[in-house]
Structure 1
Amino acid sequence: MKLNFKFLQFFDFILFFCVVALVTFGVLSIYSSGINSEGMNVSTEYVKQIIWGGTGILLMLGLSLVDYRRLSRYVPQIFIFACAVLIFTKFFGRYVNGARSWLGIGPFGIQPSEFMKVVFILFLAWYLDRTKKSSDQRKRFIISLLIMFIPMALILAQPDLGTALVYFPIFLAMTFIAGIPVRYILFVFLSGMMTILFTVLPIWESQIAHHSVIFVRVLTNSTLRLILIFATGSIGVLSLLGMFFYRHNKYFYWISYFSAILCGSLILSYFAGKVLKEYQVMRLIVFIDPYADPRGAGWNIIQSKTAIGSGNLLGRGYLQGTQSHYRFLPEQSTDFIFSILSEEWGFVGGMVIFALYFSILLRTIFIIKNASNTFGMMIAAGVLGMFAFHFLINVGMVMGIMPITGIPLLFLSYGGSSLWTAMICVGFLMSVSSRKFGF
């Protein structure tokens, strides 16, 4: 009885309530997504989600009782094993939605790349904790980058671009909290944004603008692109030489800094343009203009915005949605679950979901500030980055303000792997939270 009392004394009821509420909303929406236009339930997805949700809650509670600090000695081995599983999945996994990213027997399957997010958070937290007293922040940052690129490369090889993108916000949040100089973090962030911009502009010119734009010509003409890469690379090298001879002149440092961002982004965007598949290119096109292909790639966004808009203030009522019941929304139980919820529960229902997520994020920030050690603080920071990115990208996607990436809305979207991953993360948050009291 003493143990139970102590556990309840430090139990994080805020996180628990928010998670249970979101999972409940998710099950209700998944059930609604299985109703057809005749009012018949043609799907058993909600039953599976209830099972995953129930077992996920048990898993979450079990991890909250585990002292996360004792896991630190096993984290490197867990990371190596997880990478080996990703390699195995690449060669022997199932094809689902164009990616070999699933392992399983018969109807049962898991997505290892989802669980790899948790392992990556633990391993990067372990490394940042071990090097917290290091005076060489540049080396610390570069090794952290390599830790991120290993799972990202293995997931991109499947290929699964959406899941791979999640590792960037996790990395940025953890390195920022770890005290890595902001200029290093901004280098990665700006390089990523510039790469996306340089990749999208040629697509915009050819598919949306339908006329030649002078400043985009550099990206569409291979010779001009090569000249610009050579020029920016040369400027960067000359600036590095200037830093060597004039150590106290910071201008050379910043010139080389931005030259490296520009040069690297031009190179990466070239390869991105070659690697992107046709359906991924179309996702970028319809993000810019959904009506460029209203019956094809733009259909999802158009129907999703229609569903959200038709919900008005209080919604059409539970099980009264038309977009989902008439099957206008593909992937409606996974990627576009928020569209169903907004149509049936309206603006008020959407705000409830926002409030629950906002409470989880605020609670996570509180845990970061009050963690008893660096390892726990880093774990919470990684979870914060993951949760925030999933929420912003998925909700932005269904509203048409973000490109379609196939990233689920955690706790609500149908899928056992993503739901368990999210609940494992909450279990670790609870463990970090309770250990500050010595439990």
Structure 2
Amino acid sequence: MKFRFFEIFDYVLLISVSLLVFIGIMFVYSSGVNSSAVSVSNEYIKQIIFACTGFLLMIFFAVFDYRKLERLTPIAFILLFLLLIYTKFFGRYVNGARSWIGIGNFGVQPSEFGKIIYIMFLARYLNRSAETAPLKRFFISALITAGPVLLILAQPDLGTASVYIPIFIGMIFTAGLNTSYILFIILTGTLTVIFTVLPVWQTSILQKPIIILSVFTNPRLRLIVSATLIIITMIGALGLLFYRNKYYYFITRFSGSTTLALGASILGGKVLKDYQIKRLIVFLNPYTDPLGSGWNIIQSKIAIGSGGITGQGFLKGTQSHYRFLPQQSTDFIFSILSEEAGFVGSLFVFILFFIILMRIIFIMYTTKNTFGYYIAGGILVMFFFHFVVNVGMVMGIMPITGIPFLFLSYGGSSLWTAMWATGLLMSIRFRRLDF
């Protein structure tokens, strides 16, 4: 029995994750050291506690048969809804969003844990709906996704909400849904972001009016355009119904996507604050607001650039120790790592993450259980999206969205979520031959 217990663990995952967590603790400690080489923060102590409890969480879910969780996921999903609603009205504000609940100094972020619950619930539906009509399967999957996303956006927490969308796309792709549905979602999402940021881009970066953009600022003109798009969509749908012509198909898809994006952008403009929207575009030219929204990117790029090949040395970084970097223990932890460990240290972290992603793909292709396959697919996308967006954000080539670097960034909620996901992956791998 003892030998079988140790067989449960995937040691490739375990070693890679352990190294990342250890590196994270090191640089969380470094982020709390000031220019006089004095530690002014106890975040590293909390991170050690988070890591220890996170490993216990990982062990529990690795040992537990994940298949038994399938029947519990509807209850968990309902509880997630209730928690997100409670958080919206009674949660505490952190960084401009009411997304935390807790007592005293202890707080958790339900939307972080919600990612795993959402993945398992969607995996359950996709597993049980294999015989359902593809379009119906797509719409129900989209409704499952829309619930938590809208509640998280209402907080408003754009960064966390944005993680759910690629997870949704990745999971319906692994479920074999029509690629055209996925392209429709990508097109609608892209247009929504563009339509939402264009008015702020016009006033903050371009700083001069453009007549065509008045459709996003003039309510009457916006109503006319929306009505026109709806009519075009209806005509295209009728043409497709009666003539089955591919031109009507493209007209319907594009006009329908544009209509939805325009409506979503109106909602986004009302829910999101201007500074949140500005973060989505200021990376294009951070010097338009160097002391405001552009400050984070400018200081992060300076830190990364000053690291060079081998870095300035542990605890010898200047940007972090002179407190130029904001959120340096959380969202911008990679900036400190790059400054003090350089390209070599960053490459080592990249390799560890690459190993984890490759291991998840291996688990996906070796498991015979479809429920486990979908869960692993969702976790793969979640890990990949967090990695790409956070690294891109601190390098100044992607918008600042407040997405942490999993396993490295300070914070119990994100670390526990990542460890929970790792435990599930180990459980799936160990039972990969069981249906």
Residue 194 of structure 1 aligns with which residue?
Answer: 191
Amino acid at match of 1:23: V
Residue 125 of structure 2 aligns with which residue?
Answer: 127
- Matching residue within 230, 242, 245 for 1:245: 242
Matches within 5 A, 1:293-308: 293-308=289-304
Residue 342 of structure 1 aligns with which residue?
Answer: 338
Deviates more, 1:283-292 or 1:161-170: 283-292
Name the SS for the 2:280 alignment partner.
helix
1:218 CA displacement: 4.0
1:270 CA displacement: 2.7
Residue 327 of structure 2 aligns with which residue?
Answer: 331
Deviates more, 1:54-63 or 1:313-322: 54-63
Return the alpha-carbon distance in structure 2 between the equivalents of residues 388 and 176 of structure 1.
15
Name the SS for the 2:380 alignment partner.
helix
CA offsets per residue over residues 133-172 of structure 1, 9 Å max, x none? 22x1111111111111111122122221111111101101
1:413 CA displacement: 0.3
- Matching residue within 9, 26, 30 for 2:28: 30
Name the SS for the 2:98 alignment partner.
strand
CA offsets per residue over residues 178-220 of structure 1, 9 Å max, x none? 1111111111111000111122223222222233445544444
- Matching residue within 269, 274, 279 for 2:270: 274
Residue 107 of structure 1 aligns with which residue?
Answer: 105
Deviates more, 1:206-215 or 1:327-336: 206-215
Q: Does the aligned pair in 2 maintain the 1:204–1:288 contact within 8 Å?
A: no
Q: Does the aligned pair in 1 maintain the 2:283–2:397 contact within 8 Å?
A: yes
- Matching residue within 218, 223, 227 for 2:224: 227
Residue 50 of structure 1 aligns with which residue?
Answer: 48
Name the SS for the 1:171 alignment partner.
helix
Return the alpha-carbon distance in structure 2 between the equivalents of residues 328 and 81 of structure 1.
40
- Matching residue within 85, 88, 91 for 1:93: 91
Return the alpha-carbon distance in structure 1 between the equivalents of residues 283 and 429 of structure 2.
40
Residue 395 of structure 1 aligns with which residue?
Answer: 391
Unaligned runs of 5+ in 1: none
Q: Does the aligned pair in 1 maintain the 2:27–2:329 contact within 8 Å?
A: yes
Return the alpha-carbon distance in structure 2 between the equivalents of residues 93 and 77 of structure 1.
22
Deviates more, 1:171-180 or 1:271-280: 271-280
Deviates more, 1:337-346 or 1:268-277: 268-277
Name the SS for the 1:36 alignment partner.
coil
CA offsets per residue over residues 325-346 of structure 1, 9 Å max, x none? 0000111000100000000000
Residue 208 of structure 2 aligns with which residue?
Answer: 211
Return the alpha-carbon distance in structure 2 between the equivalents of residues 167 and 284 of structure 1.
17
Amino acid at match of 1:358: F
TM-score by length of 1: 0.95
Return the alpha-carbon distance in structure 2 between the equivalents of residues 278 and 214 of structure 1.
21
Return the alpha-carbon distance in structure 2 between the equivalents of residues 339 and 174 of structure 1.
31
Name the SS for the 1:321 alignment partner.
coil
Q: Does the aligned pair in 1 maintain the 2:8–2:427 contact within 8 Å?
A: no
Q: Does the aligned pair in 2 maintain the 1:239–1:256 contact within 8 Å?
A: yes
1:21 CA displacement: 0.6
TM-score by length of 2: 0.96
Name the SS for the 2:93 alignment partner.
strand
Q: Does the aligned pair in 2 maintain the 1:124–1:147 contact within 8 Å?
A: yes
Q: Does the aligned pair in 2 maintain the 1:285–1:292 contact within 8 Å?
A: no
Deviates more, 1:404-413 or 1:278-287: 278-287
Cα 1:222/1:100, change in 2 over 3 Å: closer
Amino acid at match of 1:80: I
Residues 1:169 and 2:177 aligned together: no
1:437 CA displacement: 4.1
Amino acid at match of 1:391: F
Cα 1:67/1:259, change in 2 over 3 Å: same
Residue 316 of structure 1 aligns with which residue?
Answer: 312
Return the alpha-carbon distance in structure 1 between the equivalents of residues 7 and 92 of structure 2.
45
Q: Does the aligned pair in 2 maintain the 1:99–1:160 contact within 8 Å?
A: yes
CA offsets per residue over residues 237-288 of structure 1, 9 Å max, x none? 0111112222x32322221111101122122223322332132133134222
1:429 CA displacement: 0.6
Name the SS for the 1:166 alignment partner.
helix
Amino acid at match of 1:323: Q
How big is the alpha-carbon RMSD for the aligned residues of Structure 1 and Structure 2? 1.6
Cα 1:179/1:422, change in 2 over 3 Å: same
Deviates more, 1:223-232 or 1:67-76: 223-232
Name the SS for the 1:100 alignment partner.
strand
Unaligned runs of 5+ in 2: none
Amino acid at match of 2:374: M
1:5 CA displacement: 1.9
Name the SS for the 1:71 alignment partner.
helix
Return the alpha-carbon distance in structure 2 between the equivalents of residues 374 and 330 of structure 1.
43
Name the SS for the 2:38 alignment partner.
coil
Name the SS for the 1:109 alignment partner.
strand
Q: Does the aligned pair in 2 maintain the 1:75–1:122 contact within 8 Å?
A: yes
Residue 147 of structure 2 aligns with which residue?
Answer: 150
- Matching residue within 399, 418, 421 for 1:422: 418
Return the alpha-carbon distance in structure 1 between the equivalents of residues 292 and 326 of structure 2.
11
Residues 1:408 and 2:404 aligned together: yes
